[in-house]
Structure 1
Amino acid sequence: MSADADAVRQWWRTSIIDMEPGRIAFRGHPIQDLIGNVSFGQMIWLMTRGDLPTPDQAALLECALVAGVDHGPQAPSIAAARMAATCGVGLNNVMATGVNMLGDVHGGAGEQCAELYLEIVQRLESGPDLETATRDGIAAWRERHGKIVSGFGHRFHKPVDPRGPRLMALVRDAAKNGVVSGRFADIGEAVQAEIGRRRGTPIAMNIDGATAVIFCELGFSPPLSRGLFCLSRSVGVLAHGWEQMQQGGRNKGPMPPKYLPKYEDKA
């Protein structure tokens, strides 16, 4: 192979896929060996982590992915997808519109919560007990980011987000069976308790807080926590976008036409 040809091949270096005519392999596994033998959750793990998880690890990952698929048209990602579906664009554009709404506020809470959990781990390694490390970690978080602690509290589900307790129960079961350590489950519940103590009333661990526990337990980095949530929510975006396309409608905005935005005279 000439030096120029090798330089061209170096342009897009990848350890994910090895492909040539008649051959496809992901992370060293021929595609024909993966098809029918691994689940979608295992394939996600293989693609992002480089190895295959155990069936129990993949099952726990899939629990988090199932929990985050949808939260109805009041969620900005779903609302945007449904509006786009009435504008004459294709389904791929509808999905892109919805997924592109997943930013730091809507969609990024899982990543931020995972960062908080890992910060508390760092504090624990310096010696304090869980209660102290959690209290100090939350205080430092609020000093940098403000009052809201990502992953806790929900504008609709009060005092319990129905997804949180179920996911945490599954993590606890996995810890009993040696699939995960349970360390991040302890941290998540400690954060929940500390926030509730400070506000004087219980607070929900929401979908972001619970899935962040799972992603951390399974060893995913905080940015991948956000990416996995986006992957999960894209299923809901697809479903709602397709449903809206079947229902029809033209140029639907965020409010029915009879309701007009409130005009504020700044003069």
Structure 2
Amino acid sequence: MAERETRAVYPTALGASGPKTITLLGHDLAEDVMGSVGFGALAFWLATQRRPSPGETRVFEAVLAALADHGFTPTAIVTRLTYLSAPDSIQGALAAGLLGGGSRFLGVTEDTGRFLHDVVESLDGAVPSEGADWDAVALRTVQQQRTAGKFVPGLGHHVHKEGDPRTPRLMRIATEEGLFGPHLSLFAAIGRVHPTVLGRTLPLNGAGVCGAALADLGLPLPLLRGFALLARTAGLIGQLAEELRHPVARDIFLSVDLNNTSVPPDPYVPEPSTEESGNG
């Protein structure tokens, strides 16, 4: 008797389709979700597979708003330029902008969240309850980074040198919703104590405070950059919409193309190796 064929099974709690219905997270998409669940709440729900509270939704959507658009950043410029080059590929223009989300733009959200989480985890549950105690943790943390020659993620901004307006606003929203947790507490403390170590005052930037807030919401750390990209997708759509009405990409292109200067080649010369040769 032939062996019964084993059929592969791929379990998912997300979307599934039948002849007449679509389910999403165990609910009827058409009847229970559409028109009833906002996009921000749905994005949170999809990532955690639990429905957020109203307060969590407010903080999460405030983060998305904070990261949606910040002017002519490299991500916005490359999106507009890619559309200029390939107007038949909206997806390519959006993807080009999203691919620029790294350690200097957008990726700071994840970097800060992970950094703060590592410090909080190192406390082994002995989480401070008072601001002064958080200051001690923050001071030790900044000193260790300084000694190691490393930056503190979330500190500094190339434009908002006197303070990023997104940071106090998001902190107020989290406080109002009772969601000002250990990551935001540590981040705020870093803002208070770092001048003592660095000898200068740097702003706590918006991308960093967003990472702290997302970590306090308990969202998966590996996805923090994904939420920043989700927010920026809306901003890039806005950039493209404005490019359709008031194009600037061609001017940006021509400003470089018509003003470049030919110079002699500058060959790359490898730096001398500092490793000792082995005797083989």
**TM bucket by the smaller chain?**
0.7 to 0.9
Q: Which of these two proteins has the greater Rg computed from alpha carbons? A: 2
Q: Distance in 1 between the 2:229 and 2:254 partners?
A: 22
Which residue does 2:7 correspond to in 1? 6
Q: Which amino acid aligns with 1:168?
A: M
Q: Distance in 2 between the 1:109 and 1:21 partners?
A: 44
User: Residues 22-49 of structure 1: CA distance to partner in whole angstroms, max 9, x if unpaired?
Assistant: 1111111111201111111110111110
Q: Distance in 2 between the 1:152 and 1:15 partners?
A: 38
Distance 1:47 1:143, change over 3 A: farther
Distance 1:39 1:136, change over 3 A: same
Counterparts of residues 207-246 of structure 1 (less than 5 Å)? 207-246=206-245
Contact residue 111 and residue 226 of structure 1 kept, 8 A? yes
**Pick from 26, 29, 38: which aligns with 1:28?**
26
RMSD: 2.6
**Pick from 135, 139, 142: which aligns with 1:135?**
139
Q: Report percent identity of matched pairs.
A: 24
Which residue does 1:260 correspond to in 2? 260
Q: Which amino acid aligns with 1:172?
A: T
Which residue does 1:116 correspond to in 2? 115
Q: Distance in 2 between the 1:53 and 1:254 partners?
A: 48
Query: Which runs of 5 or more residues in structure 1 are unaligned?
Result: none
**Pick from 168, 172, 191: which aligns with 2:171?**
168
Deviates more, 1:49-58 or 1:133-142: 133-142
Which residue does 2:80 correspond to in 1? 82
Q: Which amino acid aligns with 2:259?
A: Y
Q: Which amino acid aligns with 2:7?
A: D
**Pick from 7, 17, 29: which aligns with 2:15?**
17
Partner secondary structure for residue 23 of structure 2: strand
Q: CA deviation at 1:237?
A: 1.0
TM-score by length of 2: 0.82
Q: Distance in 2 between the 1:3 and 1:160 partners?
A: 67
Distance 1:187 1:21, change over 3 A: same
Q: Distance in 2 between the 1:260 and 1:197 partners?
A: 45
How many residue pairs match? The answer is 257
TM-score by length of 1: 0.85
Q: Distance in 2 between the 1:258 and 1:33 partners?
A: 56
Contact residue 113 and residue 183 of structure 2 kept, 8 A? no
Contact residue 145 and residue 151 of structure 2 kept, 8 A? no
Which residue does 1:102 correspond to in 2? 101
Distance 1:4 1:46, change over 3 A: farther
Contact residue 180 and residue 213 of structure 2 kept, 8 A? no
Q: Distance in 2 between the 1:126 and 1:45 partners?
A: 26
Query: Which runs of 5 or more residues in structure 2 are unaligned?
Result: 268-280
Which residue does 1:200 correspond to in 2? 199
Partner secondary structure for residue 18 of structure 1: strand
